[in-house]
Amino acid sequence: MTELSASSEKNFAPAAGTARLRLRAVVSAFYFMQGIVFGSWASRIPDVKAALGMSEAELGSVLFAIPLGQLVAMPFSGRMTARFGSRVCTAAAVAVYGLSLTFIALAAGTGNRALFFAALVFFGVCGNLHNIAVNTQGVGVERIYGRSIMASFHGVWSLAGFAAGLLSTTLVSCGISPLEHFVGVYAVCAAVMLCIIRFAIPADAAKREKTRELLGGAEPPPRERRFALRDPFILLLGVICFVNMGCEGVMFDWSGVYFQQVVKPDESLVRLGYTVALGAMAAGRFLADRFVMRFGQIRVIQVCALTSACGLALSVAFPQTVPAALGFMLVGFGISSIVPVCYSLSSHSKAFPVGVAIAAVSTVGFLGFLFGPPVIGHAADFFGKIFAGTPEEEASVGLRGAFLCAALFSLLSAAIAPKLKKYVGGGAAAFFGEK
């Protein structure tokens, strides 16, 4: 398996069909497990909230523990993946991520909110390690394939989240508690991991072996230790992810509110915007790889950013049910592909190992996901007070103004994407269809 990976990393040549299909299936399973764990937690939040007797405001404050844990883990998760290999870190991440899910249920059962907060922090730490390790696996398999497949992996994650929601609905109707649910998810994920982990590819380790081979068996010179975001290539990718994940956070947190207070459809259609955005995001991820190979990664980033901006603008200009839903669908399609494309591009950093590069890009991008929704809330309040004619119009006018700002901000990705061209050259450019 190492020889297969090493030769493909040098020439970007497709590997043997059966071997690469197995690798793709294994890595897809890792993405699915990550999605099913997170989706299981997200779908049982109402049950956990009720068990702890928390208000919406209290729950919102406690949920900040998850991004806090992810931010805490980001400085070392990439280094761990680079040092121990993505296969080892993926195995460890699957084990501890599912375990942390059970800790959440146990902590909620005690009624101790401090313990619950600590469990969520641990859940965030494990989730970040899983994210970096599995995406490092993903870019390694993409190299072996000799074409873009990264977006389809993220599409599998989206499908897993949807499947987790259906599973949770069924289990709740059967009276299954969150603890029983989470223990079952952990047991299944751990069993699957033990069965397939030996087939995973240690892409970063394979790269080191190839480097030794080219140096006649000598150890490669150590890399200079420096801050990854000082590298312009990594920083540009991080900014693009920041903007895109900010829009993604807005869709997750504000789409329902926008429909409720601006579009004002029938009560049964309040979640329509969120539903079509999520569906379009999943569909876009399965289509993105084909577009990348035909048009190139940079052009895909540009078109997706423009699509998101147009979708937001459409929902602002025509706040009725059909055009607003169409606008949110365009936003979902636009935000679907940029993050996996940026992760794939980051693997071509000449200054840092794959895991470190992905961790740096993910760090900046996640800050957008974390701060985008609160900024939209404050912007809506500001615009509502300035431009609304009556107090009754403040929410509607404010949200439309904030969403318009988000549309303008999303154009930033389209504007800076061409600057990536000078960092993506040679074999990598040919590999991804860049001219």
User: Going by C-beta distance under 8 Å and a sequence separation of 6 or more, which residues neighbour residue 108?
Assistant: 48, 51, 52, 116, 119, 178
Rounded distance, CA 342 to CA 240, Å? 8
For residue 435, is pLDDT > 60? no
For tokens 């955005």, what's the residue?
277
Residue 317 one-letter amino acid: A
Higher pLDDT, 429 or 369: 369
- What is the rounded average pLDDT for all residues in the chain? 81
Best CA proximity match to 255, nearest among 289, 281, 229, 232: 281
| Structure confidence at residue 56 (pLDDT) | 59
Q: Give whole-number Cα distances, 271 to 263, 264, 278, 429, in Å.
A: 11, 11, 11, 41
Higher pLDDT, 59 or 239: 239
Rounded distance, CA 316 to CA 263, Å? 10
Model pLDDT for residues 357-377, shown as the tens digit of each residue: 887 888 788 788 777 877 888
Q: Which helix (H) or strand (E) holds 1?
A: none
| Structure confidence at residue 229 (pLDDT) | 60
Question: 315-324 long-range CB contacts below 8 Å, 24 or more apart?
Answer: 315/258, 315/273, 315/403, 316/400, 316/403, 316/404, 316/407, 319/262, 319/263, 319/396, 319/400, 320/263, 321/263, 321/265, 321/269, 321/272, 324/258, 324/259, 324/262, 324/263, 324/273
| Structure confidence at residue 261 (pLDDT) | 85
Model pLDDT for residues 262-277, shown as the tens digit of each residue: 998 887 787 788 778 8
Residue 316 one-letter amino acid: V
Rounded distance, CA 264 to CA 187, Å? 43
- SS3 state at 15: coil
Angle between helix 113-145 and 86-110 (nearest 10): 160
Is 228:243 a contact under the CB 8 Å cutoff? no
Rounded distance, CA 176 to CA 169, Å? 10
Mean pLDDT of 379-387: 85
- pTM for the full predicted model: 0.73
CA 311, chain centre distance (Å): 20
Higher pLDDT, 210 or 283: 283
DSSP 174-237: TT--HHHHHHHHHHHHHHHHHHHGGGS--HHHHHHHHHHHHTTTPPPPPPPP--GGGSHHHHHH
Backbone angles phi, psi at 266, to 5 degrees: -60, 150
Residue 15 one-letter amino acid: A
For residue 323, is pLDDT > 70? yes
Of all residues in the chain, what percent carry a pLDDT higher than 90? Answer: 28
For residue 206, is pLDDT > 70? no
| Structure confidence at residue 48 (pLDDT) | 84
Rounded distance, CA 296 to CA 134, Å? 23
Best CA proximity match to 247, nearest among 77, 403, 57: 403
Rounded distance, CA 258 to CA 315, Å? 9
Burial class of residue 292, CB neighbours in 10 A (0-12, 13-18, 19+): buried
Eight-state DSSP code of residue 431: H
What is the token pair recorded at 159?
Answer: 């499908």
For residue 227, is pLDDT > 60? no
Of all residues in the chain, what percent carry a pLDDT higher than 70? Answer: 86
Return the ∠ at Cα 235 (arms to 231 and 238), rounded to 5°: 145
